[in-house]
Chain A
Amino acid sequence: MKPPPFAYLRAESVEQALTALRQHGDEARILAGGQSLLPMLNMRLTRPAILIDIMRIGALREATVSNGMLAVGAGMRQASLLGRASLAREVPLLAASLPWVGHYQTRARGTVCGSVAHADPSAEIPLCLIALSGSIRLRSARKRRTVPAETFFTGTMMTERADEEMIEAVLLPLAKPGCGYAFAEAARRHGDFAITACAAVAEADRLRLAVGGVADRPVARDLPRLDGSALDDALNDFAWSLGARDDMHATARYRRDLVRKLGRKVLEEAVSCRR
């Protein structure tokens, strides 16, 4: 378990990183926290020609609030964001789900944007982005563009990002007054990849449930009000629509059960914590 050979560039500016990306295309990978990339390198599942280390670029390390959004830069580690005192007020859903991302030790290195770029179908941060209708700011040497989370994730470890683009920041809408948020996940052990993760948003006139770990990407759906059996039917429809599959950790049926039951639980919790 040793990585194959690759070149390494310690980028000192975003421009330098983007120039290298443009030059190397899909032969290059951005190295941020490395918590997903390094295991794949050690197992030789991926063979980039060059790694572009962006962690020395000070400009990427910030999280800023503007236009009703929290923009988290590509260099911000998960632990730093979790340590942001205002996070629970700004994006309570993310504050609730970040402690479920890996472990204390991996959060200290792993970045928020790195998890989004990796696009693991059961990852918590992409799920929050989907639930909150956040977006991803991509940048190449030529242009910037912002892609809604709903179209960004295209499949297992696949995203809308072009080879010459890097994620510059992810944008998370700030909590709105009168809204409630809730998160829960079921995993084999604490800190494991979620078998099913549910994130709920309750607004005055709308309920939204996002589910990770079941389909090949996180998926969200707007649902009817809590009362009545319509929600049960809607949750059941949602559960069946996700194409759940069996694997060695859980059955498809269990995953659907969790969408129905854990989904209802987080929706109820989101409604009850509206403020």
Chain B
Amino acid sequence: MAGIRAPIEARVIATDRVRYVGEPVAIVVAGDRYLAEDALDAIEVTYRPLPAVIDPEEAAEPDALVLHETASGNIVSERRFSYGDPDAAFAAAPHRVSVKIHYPRNTGSPMETYGVVAEYDPHEATYDVLANFQGPFSIHAVVARALKVAGNRLRLRMPPESGGSFGVKQGVAPYVVLVAAAARLAGRPVKWIEDRLEHLAASVAATNRVTTLAAAVAGDGEILALDWDQLEDCGAFLRAPEPATLYRMHGNMTGAYAIRHLRMRNRVVLTNKTPTGLVRGFGGPQVYYALERLMARIAAELGLDPLAVIRRNLIVPDAFPYRSASGALYDSGQYQLALDMAVREGGLAELEARREQARAEGRLYGIGFAAVVEPSVSNMGYITTVLSPAERRKAGPKNGAQATATITLDPVGSVTVQVASVPQGQGHRTVLAQVVADELGLHPRDIRVITELDTAKDAWSIASGNYSSRFAPAVAGAAKCAAERLRARLARIAAAQLNAVPDDLLFAGGRIASRRNPESALPFARVASTSHWAPGTVPEDVGEVIRETVFWTPPELTAPSEADETNSSLCHGFIFDFCGVEIDRVTGKARIDRYVTMHDCGRILHPGMVEGQIRGGFVQALGAAFYEELAYGEDGAFLAGTFADYLLPTAPEVPPLDILHIETPSPFTPLGAKGVGEGNCMSTPVCLANAVADALGAEALDLPLTPAKLAALAGDAEPPPPPGQEAGAAPARTGARTLRGEGRALVRAAPERLWAMLLDPRVLASLIPGAHGVRKLSETRFQADVTLGVGPVKGRYKADIELSDLAPPHAVTLSGSIAGALGGGGGKGRITLAPQGDGRTAIEYRYEAFVGGKVASVGGRLLDGAARVIIGQFFAALARRTGDAPSGWRGLLARLTALLGSRR
């Protein structure tokens, strides 16, 4: 938890309070998964529902419900920063432009879920765990501490490849603890493969964030200062390495722009949602959505061309290496050149012509832009910016980014490369084989690359792992360094045998030859095997040339300064995107006419791999822009538990993508390469949103850009309902899932008689749909077993019913809750009885109800309807029992029936 000292226990399994849907409450070990799930069904968990706090802004209020009773509030960290003189800049600026963004929750959703196989050896007191963990390996220390063993008693092994991660597989760590503990208790190895429902509900989400960003702007669009207010929602627990999402971008909060004055307030708040963690883009999407929406708004409000506003503020080429206001050292860049090339080669003029024509024809067409600095190779010290300088002094400095590579020469002189990175499809083997082969004058197919990692045997450090786009710049660079060192030493062995000087030797074509005298040559394998077979022939000061391990960390990654200047990342690539989008007036669907993405990721190591990263990142960003949201109801119910609710883009949704490159090598990395994997996750959502905003003339625009949202912005006012039909109250907000209803009826009976009926447990029993038997706990409390369902979806539940606020014979409140394997629900209804003076009584009721748990997560689309049917059944029964079902009730029933349907 990055040294934040909030008095909160971050457990991997709930003990007596559950704080988010998906939080583990029990673990079953069985012979197979089928049996384990049978056993889970047999566990009866009794939940006492507590109010939930879902909205980060509400959670941040002083009087908010507090998630952790040991803490004083939900805000677990607050820091303010000031760089330059933002107050003066804002005071002097002629314009102030601001945006407020509610960035939603989404996730990387790899196709392979988490998997853990754990074993405990009681004699060695050692855990041996195989997991598709992706790093950072600083978390190894966290897991060992959670298991209460020293680091050398936790052997963590990672497979040679895993089925995608996109950051998310960092989040397997708490399950490593859980499964390892289970293995210890069970006394045998335990395997756990997460299922998709578990994964969507409770693996890792990116943070949702509320950002208010303001700019002090000159008349020509020059930005004089920025003022960030970020409220970061990390879910129910702050899990390592959070709140890193909020600080990963700290050095580059001014993006691609030369802005010298900067004010920031960062707050971290906890809510009743799944804890957050690494997701591709990691903080970038949240920051750039605000920053690039702001750029578009500045243009709109000042009547300037959006591209001109971007150009006006870009960092100029001779400023590199450029120290940003908040302390990042941008390594290299040619932003203007990239922009000009993209505009020219990407055909911006043509898009503008198309927009003009579309608009002339009354169609909705917009163009969007985004300019983004893509950080890569995280400084392990950036997260300590969350601490005050005094706290940092006390804790000691943290910095660097150790990358590790080992090259081994075996007795036949063949070459094996091993790195402390754990690939999930990024092509480590392809690229490393090429890098090392180039250095040693071999063919890539001669090189064997091993990508599994074993913390008990391999070289690794806290920064090990595959995240923050560190492979090409750092890990491949470390492999190059190791190969260089080996080569230098092999050259000395060869020089001794060839009677040449090492500098004269050329490594090429599997041979080591003298440049001056190419006849004088040795096979590479023979030289490479010398230390095995004839160590006596190796020159004394060369040492054994069998294995070379390099730990590489860049000196630029220093600890945060006393003034909170933070060089959060080593490399800073540049992306400039633009796109044309048309919105269908009928369906609200956005069609991407063209999308152009210009990348400068330094030196390109392998064009195919770079293109793969860009295309993959682009489509994930497309998902974030239009389809994906880990949605919650205001009651805390999780609503996106299946792939029919959490919508990943599929092939028919993906538009053509024009990819352009310029290469400005990084002076800070061995190969001149920078990261490239995350950039489009940062640039694409906002570029698309800017185009949509341009098409619709929209000011505020939050993701995801659903057709319903866009259609509402595109359309006119809705025609009113026909006379006699109610419009129905619109829900107060998205996520409001409370079902509400009310009714009134006149019956021919005195209030006293009705009152007696309502308090009669037998009557009550007959009102509860599917009740198997009612137990009376007291005069006002009842319990029942009920079978509820719609169509084939049926479950057994325990129901609790209570009467309260009794005012005989005028009013009573009826509240109930149900719980079962499929989830739970509850509701409350107030019933009032008013005598009419003519022997009749007016019965009025109002109810509200909710459904939560598994049914809400996996079947929200259908089962909200089902809940209404069940509530309908209850009130239909109430109506029937209250006597003669007069006309008022019939009207209500007809309405309920029409609305809900009911089984005939």
Contacts and interface: CB of A to CB of B under 8 A. Distances in A.
Asked whether the complex places CB atoms of A and B closer than 8 A, the reply is yes
A47 interface: yes
B446 interface: no
A247 B642 CA distance: 15
Interface string A1-35: 11111000000000000000000000001000000
B722 A236 contact: yes
Contact of B647 (A156, A188, A236): A188
Nearest to A48: B792
B731 interface: yes
Contacts of A193: 644, 861
Contacts of B898: 243
Nearest to B793: A45
B790 A251 contact: no
B718 A257 contact: yes
A265 interface: yes
Interface in A192-250: 192-193, 195, 216-217, 232-233, 236-237, 240-241, 243, 245-250
A107 to B, nearest CB: 15
B473 interface: no
B711 A155 contact: no
B650 A190 contact: yes
A127 interface: no
A256 B718 contact: yes
B903 A155 contact: yes
A191 interface: yes
Contacts of B707: 186, 188, 195, 250, 254
B900 A40 contact: no
B649 A189 contact: yes
A245 B718 contact: no
A4 B653 CA distance: 36
Nearest to B587: A186
Contacts of A159: 791
Contacts of A157: 790-793, 862, 866
Nearest to B859: A45
Contacts of B41: 4, 44
A258 B865 contact: no
Contacts of B649: 189
A157 B855 CA distance: 15
B629 A5 contact: no
Given A45-B859, A236-B722, A192 B631 contact: no
B706 A250 contact: yes
Given A156-B791, A157-B793, A240-B721, A216 B901 contact: yes
A136 to B, nearest CB: 15
A190 B719 contact: no
Contacts of A124: none
Given A155-B902, A156-B862, A252-B728, A189 B653 contact: yes
B627 A189 contact: yes
Nearest to A254: B708
Contact of A254 (B588, B653, B794): B588
B903 A158 contact: yes
A155 B869 contact: yes
Contacts of B33: 2
A160 interface: yes
B340 interface: no
Contact of B794 (A47, A216, A232): A47
B299 to A, nearest CB: 30
Contacts of A236: 719, 721-722
A253 B712 contact: yes
A155 B650 contact: no
Nearest to B728: A252
Given A45-B822, A46-B792, A158-B791, A261 B586 contact: yes
A121 interface: yes
Contacts of A48: 792
Contacts of B196: 1
A273 B712 CA distance: 31
A65 interface: no
B195 interface: yes
A139 interface: no
B611 interface: no
A52 to B, nearest CB: 13
Contacts of B181: none
Contacts of B352: none
A243 B901 CA distance: 11
A80 interface: no
Nearest to B626: A188
B715 interface: yes
A240 B586 contact: no
Max chain A C-beta neighbours (<10 A), residue from B627, B712, B793: B793
A245 B739 CA distance: 11
23 contacts: A5-B38, A43-B858, A43-B859, A44-B37, A46-B792, A156-B790, A156-B862, A157-B866, A189-B649, A195-B707, A216-B899, A232-B719, A237-B722, A245-B864, A246-B730, A246-B734, A248-B639, A248-B640, A249-B861, A250-B708, A253-B708, A260-B719, A262-B586
